[in-house]
């Protein structure tokens, strides 16, 4: 084994890119990943069209600051909830990774699913397995080679366009995407630019950049050294059983191998040639390993052929391999889990107590208090109501403390779905109920008799109570 710490598998000593040609893999894990990838891809394509109570399943419209998760509409005003949800997400990654390593990367990450289950499979279909691809790349340009390369890149571009449209559907919604596609291009220059940019980025990643997205760009891989410990379950080589590695001689029995000091690893390199990041798992857990299980399938196949038990490479922890321990609940894991449960509880509380509207009551800019002919004092306010739901909401405003009256200046307030409405409100107070300077007043926000919110605002009056 070469000194793997001093070399990058994807670059030569001058730092030039070394193109990887991972061999086609087959086996039980690959089959399971294939089925899961179909499910994930179907969900990804159907996702933008799924509606929950009229709202999309997921919408992340950063431009218009509109966010919908599982049919729940979130506004920039829901910032605290977002922050808590983000903390829940990060903590669950910590817990999950500490226990099960990069299971996400190998099985569900869009980069791995699209690269290994879509683009790579098309490449195998057009250019053949790894040795044929290598030979094709080294061969001089001929019409046949140009046709294969042209067909591959045309399909890659088409798929990138499809994925870019799907991503856009999650950002702006399928209706707006349909408009961009069907309307005159001049009316949707922004949308078309985004579409072309996304397409080119997808194409660049899957046609050229490939595994480097995981090994150079993705921060999650780099966090592994801090998240994993000797009890984490990862794709691991059982060095106790495998070492010392040595080629299998013809007609060599297991007893003869053992007598020669050899383990079960026959140094066939099949685990290396299938690896999409080009590493040798026998060197131990490495940052580049995306836990794709290809080496497990390849090695199991070798073990079957040489009549040794499967699982020389398998899901195991370091302690599992060294001492035969099963998944252990460590104090670190307990600590992470307690924090996660606490945050999840807080998030659930925020979600369940979340109001359907968000109202802001502000004193009208530049307006002073007024003394009315009846001796009462008045303040003018601007009220802004945000409707966080996907249905129309009629709003009534009431003064909750019985010390005056509230008049909505612009008539009935009806807030359209996912929109906001603004109106002016005049509050009048009886001087006998007022304090010198500022008097707190409570405004109730109602819809069809049901109170949605209660807001406290300041009513300004004269400081000197002789004026009253
Ligand atoms: S595939 Fe298995 S037997 Fe072959 S080199 Fe890798 S670990 Fe050893
Ligand atoms: S070492 Fe094995 S699990 Fe890790 S990326 Fe390579 S093939 Fe996949």
* CA-closest residue to ligand 1 atom 2: 299
In DSSP notation, 219-241 reads HHHHTHHHH--TTS-EEEE-HHH
**Rounded Cα distance, 31 and 24, in Å:** 12
Could you tell me the distance, in angstroms and rounded to a whole number, from the CA of residue 126 to the centre of ligand 1? 28
pTM confidence score: 0.80
Question: What is the three-class DSSP state of 167?
Answer: helix
Cβ atoms 271, 298 nearer than 8 A: yes
* CA-closest residue to ligand 1 atom 7: 265
Per-residue pLDDT of the chain (468 residues; tens, 9 = 90+): 456 777 778 888 888 889 999 999 999 999 999 999 999 999 999 998 888 877 788 888 877 777 887 777 777 777 888 889 889 988 888 888 888 888 899 999 999 999 999 999 999 999 999 999 999 999 999 999 999 999 999 999 999 999 999 999 999 888 889 998 888 888 888 889 999 999 999 999 999 999 999 988 998 888 887 888 888 889 999 999 999 998 988 888 888 888 888 999 999 999 999 999 999 999 998 889 999 999 999 999 999 999 899 999 999 999 999 988 776 777 888 888 898 899 999 988 988 888 888 899 988 887 788 988 988 999 999 999 988 887 899 999 999 878 889 999 877 889 998 788 999 999 999 888 888 889 999 999 999 889 999 999 999 988 875 544
Cβ atoms 276, 294 nearer than 8 A: yes
pLDDT at residue 148, as a whole number: 97
pLDDT at residue 234, as a whole number: 93
Cβ atoms 425, 409 nearer than 8 A: yes
Ligand 2 atom nearest the C-alpha of 298 is: 7
CA neighbor of 227 nearest in space, from 83, 112, 105, 347: 105
Q: How long, in residues, is the chain?
A: 468
Cβ atoms 396, 447 nearer than 8 A: yes
For 11, residues 6+ apart whose C-beta sits below 8 A from its C-beta are 17, 18
CB 426 less than 6 A from any atom of ligand 1: no
**Rounded Cα distance, 166 and 162, in Å:** 6
Ligand having the closest approach to the CA of 257? 1
Ligand 2 atom nearest the C-alpha of 296 is: 2
* CA-closest residue to ligand 2 atom 7: 275
Could you tell me the distance, in angstroms and rounded to a whole number, from the CA of residue 29 to the centre of ligand 1? 16
Could you tell me the distance, in angstroms and rounded to a whole number, from the CA of residue 289 to the centre of ligand 2? 5
CB 282 less than 6 A from any atom of ligand 1: yes
CB 294 less than 6 A from any atom of ligand 2: yes
Ligand having the closest approach to the CA of 9? 2
Could you tell me the distance, in angstroms and rounded to a whole number, from the CA of residue 156 to the centre of ligand 1? 33
Mutational test site, ligand 2, from 237, 283, 295, max ligand atoms within 8 Å of CB? 295
pLDDT at residue 352, as a whole number: 83
**Rounded Cα distance, 77 and 88, in Å:** 19
Could you tell me the distance, in angstroms and rounded to a whole number, from the CA of residue 27 to the centre of ligand 1? 15
pLDDT at residue 270, as a whole number: 96
Ligand having the closest approach to the CA of 308? 1
Could you tell me the distance, in angstroms and rounded to a whole number, from the CA of residue 308 to the centre of ligand 2? 21
For 424, residues 6+ apart whose C-beta sits below 8 A from its C-beta are 364, 380, 381, 382, 383, 408, 409, 410
CB 269 less than 6 A from any atom of ligand 1: yes
Say which residue the tokens 């903390």 belong to: 87
Cβ atoms 282, 245 nearer than 8 A: yes
CB 88 less than 6 A from any atom of ligand 2: no
> Going by CATH, does the domain composed of 357-467 fall within 2.30.30.90?
no
Cβ atoms 192, 172 nearer than 8 A: no
Q: Give 205's DSSP letter.
A: I
Mutational test site, ligand 1, from 26, 263, 268, 282, max ligand atoms within 8 Å of CB? 268
pLDDT at residue 415, as a whole number: 92
Could you tell me the distance, in angstroms and rounded to a whole number, from the CA of residue 100 to the centre of ligand 2? 15
Q: Give 354's DSSP letter.
A: -
Q: H helices within 274-353, ranges in order?
A: 294-306, 318-323, 331-352
**Alpha-carbon torsion, ordered 280, 286, 292, 295, to 10 deg:** 20
pLDDT at residue 465, as a whole number: 54
For 404, residues 6+ apart whose C-beta sits below 8 A from its C-beta are 376, 427, 428, 429, 430, 433, 441
pLDDT at residue 37, as a whole number: 97
In DSSP notation, 59-83 reads EEETTTTEEEETTEEE-GGGHHHHH
Cβ atoms 160, 199 nearer than 8 A: yes
Question: Is the N-terminal amide bond of 244 cis, ω within 30° of 0?
Answer: yes
Could you tell me the distance, in angstroms and rounded to a whole number, from the CA of residue 244 to the centre of ligand 1? 11
Could you tell me the distance, in angstroms and rounded to a whole number, from the CA of residue 296 to the centre of ligand 1? 9
């Amino acid at each position: 084994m070469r000194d793997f710490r001093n070399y990058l598998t994807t670059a030569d000593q001058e730092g030039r890119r070394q193109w990887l040609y991972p061999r086609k893999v087959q086996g039980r894990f690959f089959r399971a990943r294939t089925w899961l990838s179909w499910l994930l891809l179907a969900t990804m394509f159907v996702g933008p069209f799924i509606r929950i109570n009229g709202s999309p399943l997921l919408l992340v419209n950063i431009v218009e600051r509109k966010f919908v998760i599982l049919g729940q509409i979130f506004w920039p005003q829901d910032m605290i909830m977002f922050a808590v949800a983000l903390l829940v997400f990060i903590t669950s990654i910590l817990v999950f990774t500490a226990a099960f390593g990069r299971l996400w990367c190998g099985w569900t990450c869009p980069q791995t699913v699209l690269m290994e289950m879509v683009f790579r499979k098309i490449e195998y279909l057009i250019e053949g397995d790894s040795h044929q691809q290598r030979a094709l790349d080294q061969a001089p340009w001929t019409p046949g080679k140009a046709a294969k390369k042209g067909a591959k890149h045309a399909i890659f571009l088409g798929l990138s366009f499809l994925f870019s449209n799907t991503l856009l559907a999650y950002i702006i919604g399928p209706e707006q995407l349909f408009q961009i596609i069907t309307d005159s291009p001049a009316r949707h220059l922004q949308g078309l630019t985004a579409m072309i940019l996304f397409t080119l980025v997808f194409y660049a990643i899957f046609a050229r950049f490939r595994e480097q997205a995981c090994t150079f760009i993705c921060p999650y891989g780099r966090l592994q050294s801090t998240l994993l410990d000797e009890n984490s379950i990862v794709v691991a080589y059982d060095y106790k059983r495998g070492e010392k590695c040595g080629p299998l001689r013809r007609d060599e029995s297991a007893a003869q191998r053992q007598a020669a000091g050899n383990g079960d690893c026959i140094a066939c390199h099949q685990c290396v040639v299938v690896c999409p990041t080009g590493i040798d798992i026998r060197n131990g857990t490495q940052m580049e390993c995306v836990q794709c299980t290809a080496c497990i399938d390849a090695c199991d196949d070798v073990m079957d052929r040489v009549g040794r038990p499967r699982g020389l490479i398998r899901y195991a922890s370091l302690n599992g391999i060294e001492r035969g321990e099963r998944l252990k609940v460590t104090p670190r894991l307990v600590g992470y889990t307690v924090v996660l449960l606490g945050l999840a509880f807080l998030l659930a509380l925020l979600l369940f107590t979340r109001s359907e509207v968000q109202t802001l009551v502000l004193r009208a800019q530049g307006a002073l208090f007024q003394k009315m002919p009846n001796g009462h004092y008045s303040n003018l306010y601007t009220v802004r109501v945000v409707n966080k739901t996907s249905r129309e909401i009629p709003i009534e405003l009431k003064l909750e403390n019985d010390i005056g009256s509230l008049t909505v200046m612009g008539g009935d307030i009806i807030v359209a779905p996912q929109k906001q409405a603004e109106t002016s409100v005049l509050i009048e107070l009886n001087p006998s109920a007022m304090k010198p300077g500022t008097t707190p007043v409570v405004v109730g926000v109602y819809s069809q008799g049901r109170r949605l919110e209660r807001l406290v605002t300041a009513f300004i009056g004269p400081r000197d109570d002789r004026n009253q």
